[in-house]
Structure 1
C-alpha cells in the first residue's frame, strides 16, 4: 500500500488552532492600554505618596507583562498549530499561558500584601485629592479593558470557561480594577474620616482576593496540563452513546482536554458482535468538541 493511499485516513491535528482567536486581538489591545495607564499611575503614586495608588500602578505594569505572556501564548498556539512535534496540536499552550498567568497573579498578590503591611507599620503622608483623581482614572481604564476582553460574560460566558489564557488575562485586569476601587475607598476614608490606615489595609484585602482568584485558575489550567479527565457530562454521554449499540460495553474510557473546547478520547469497547471502529465513532458525531477519537474493539466470545 502506497503512502498516498492513506491520505483519506490521516488526521489534521491543527483543530482550527491556526486561526486567530478573538481573545488574541483583545489581549494585545488591552496590553497597550495597560502600559499607558501604568506610566501615569506610578508617577502619580510617587508624587502623591499613596501606597494604594502606587501599588495599582505597579500591578498595571506587572499585569502588562502577564497580559503580554497571554498574547504570546496565543501567537505560539496559532503559528505552531501544524507542527508535527505536538502530538495533539498546540491547544495546551492555552492552558500553559493561563497557568503562567495564575502563578504571576499569585506573586503579585504576595507583593501587594508585603508592601501594604510595610506601609501599615510605617505610614507615609498622602496627598488625597490628586491621588483620588488618578485612582478614578485607573478604575475607568480597567473597566474599559474588562469590557474589551469580554469580561461582562466572565462569570457565565462559554468562551471564558474554556479559554484559560483569556481567563487569565481577564483576571489580571479584574485584579487591577479591584486595586483601583479599593484605593479609591481607602483614599476617601482617609480624606474625610481621617482613617489613613485604611489605605494599606485595603491593599491587604485586595491581595487576599487576588490570591483566591489565582488559586482557582491554577486548579483549572493545571488540570488540563496534567491530562485530568474531561467533564463528567461529556464522559457519561460518550458511555451512553457507545453502549446504546447492542452487546457493547466500555471497558476503558479516557477523555481529556487538548485545547479550548477541544477534547480527545480513547475508548475500549468489549462486545459479542464487533463492529468497525467507524460505527462507534459515528455514535459520537453529535459531540463536535470530540476532535480526536480512538476506538479499540475487543471481541468477547460466548
Structure 2
C-alpha cells in the first residue's frame, strides 16, 4: 500500500494542544502581579517588623512558585504537543500541574494553621496601620488577578466549546484557586487587623488564619479530586456514557457490550467501544454516530457479529 494511501487512515494526536491557550497569557500576567506584590509585602514586613505582613508575603511567594508551575505546564504542553511518546497527547500535563499546585496549596494551608495556632498561644505585636494598608493593596491586586484569570478573552468568542474547555482546564483552575486563597487571606487579615486596632481583639488575627486554612484545604481537596480523576483515567460520568450508548445503538439491533470513555485533556475525551450486531457496519459508521457534543477526539471501535449458539 502506498504511503499517501496510509496517510488517509492515520492521524496525529495533537488535538489542538500545540495552540497557545488564553489561560497561559493570563496566568503569566498574574505571575508578574503576584511577584511584585510579594516583594512589596516581604520588604514592608521586614522594614516595619510586622510578622503578619512577612508571613503574608511568604504566602504570596509560595503562590508565585505555584503559578509559575502553571505557566511551565502550558509551555511544555505546547512544545511536546506533537511528541509521539505521549499515547493520547499531552493534555494530562495540565491536570498534573493542577494536582501539584493543589498539593502545594495544601502545604501552605497546613503551615498557616500551625503558625496561626502558635500565634494564638503566643501573641505577637502587630503594626496595624502599615499592615492594613498593604493588606488592602494586596486585596486589590488579588481582585485584578482573579478577574484576569476568569475573564473570557474576546479572541475566542463566547462559544459553549470555549467554556467547556476552560471548565476542564485544571491548570487554570489551580492558578485561580491560588489567587482566591490570596484574596481570602487578605480579606481575613483586613478584618482581623481592623478589629485588633479599633476593638483590641488581637486574637482575631490568628483565628482568621485558622479559618482561612480550613477554607483553602477544602478548595485544594476539590481540585485534587478533579485532577486525580483525569490522571487515573476515571470513567466519564453516567450521562456521557448513556448518551454515547444511545447514539450508537439507536433503533437498531446493535448493542454496545463494552464502553470506556475517559478524559485526555482540556475537556476532550477518548473512547473504546465494543459493538455486537446482526448486521455489522464499518468502524467509520459507528464513529460517525458519536455526538460532537461529547468532545470525543479519539475513538476505537471493536465490532463483533452476533451468532446464535
Moved more, 69-78 or 109-118: 109-118
Secondary structure of the residue that 2:293 maps to in structure 1? coil
- Check the 8 A contact 2:271/2:298 in 1, yes or no: yes
Which residue pairs with 2:156 in the alignment?
Answer: none
- 1:50: Cα distance to partner? 4.2
Moved more, 240-249 or 84-93: 240-249
Secondary structure of the residue that 1:292 maps to in structure 2? strand
Q: Does 1:241 align with 2:242?
A: no
Which residue pairs with 2:158 in the alignment?
Answer: none
Between the aligned partners of 1:125 and 1:245, the Cα distance in structure 2 is: 75
- 1:113: Cα distance to partner? 0.9
Q: Cα gap change, 1:168/1:148 in structure 2, threshold over 3 Å: closer, same or farther? A: same
Q: Does 1:218 align with 2:224?
A: yes
Matches within 5 A, 1:98-177: 98-150=98-150, 158-177=164-183
Between the aligned partners of 1:233 and 1:50, the Cα distance in structure 2 is: 53
- 1:13: Cα distance to partner? 0.4
Deviations 1:52-102 (A, max 9, x none): 433321111100000000000001111100001000110010110110111
Which residue pairs with 2:285 in the alignment?
Answer: 279
Which residue pairs with 1:5 in the alignment?
Answer: 5
Secondary structure of the residue that 1:143 maps to in structure 2? helix
Between the aligned partners of 2:244 and 2:188, the Cα distance in structure 1 is: 47
Between the aligned partners of 2:58 and 2:288, the Cα distance in structure 1 is: 53
Q: Does 1:251 align with 2:257?
A: yes
Between the aligned partners of 2:50 and 2:214, the Cα distance in structure 1 is: 20
Q: Cα gap change, 1:51/1:186 in structure 2, threshold over 3 Å: closer, same or farther? A: farther
Q: Cα gap change, 1:56/1:258 in structure 2, threshold over 3 Å: closer, same or farther? A: same
Between the aligned partners of 2:274 and 2:49, the Cα distance in structure 1 is: 65
Between the aligned partners of 2:239 and 2:253, the Cα distance in structure 1 is: 23
- Check the 8 A contact 1:142/1:176 in 2, yes or no: yes
Secondary structure of the residue that 2:292 maps to in structure 1? coil
Between the aligned partners of 1:289 and 1:212, the Cα distance in structure 2 is: 30
Secondary structure of the residue that 1:106 maps to in structure 2? helix
Deviations 1:144-165 (A, max 9, x none): 0000101699xxx644421000
Q: TM-score, normalised by structure 2?
A: 0.93
Q: Does 1:84 align with 2:90?
A: no
Give the aligned CA root-mean-square deviation in angstroms.
Answer: 1.6
- 1:5: Cα distance to partner? 2.0
- Check the 8 A contact 2:275/2:304 in 1, yes or no: yes
- Check the 8 A contact 2:267/2:295 in 1, yes or no: yes
- 1:134: Cα distance to partner? 0.7
Give structure 2 stretches of 5+ with no counterpart. Answer: 154-162
Give structure 1 stretches of 5+ with no counterpart. Answer: none
- Check the 8 A contact 1:263/1:291 in 2, yes or no: yes
Secondary structure of the residue that 1:259 maps to in structure 2? coil
Which residue pairs with 1:64 in the alignment?
Answer: 64
Between the aligned partners of 1:166 and 1:6, the Cα distance in structure 2 is: 38
Secondary structure of the residue that 1:196 maps to in structure 2? coil
Matches within 5 A, 1:169-208: 169-208=175-214
Between the aligned partners of 1:264 and 1:130, the Cα distance in structure 2 is: 54
Between the aligned partners of 1:136 and 1:28, the Cα distance in structure 2 is: 23
Which residue pairs with 2:15 in the alignment?
Answer: 15
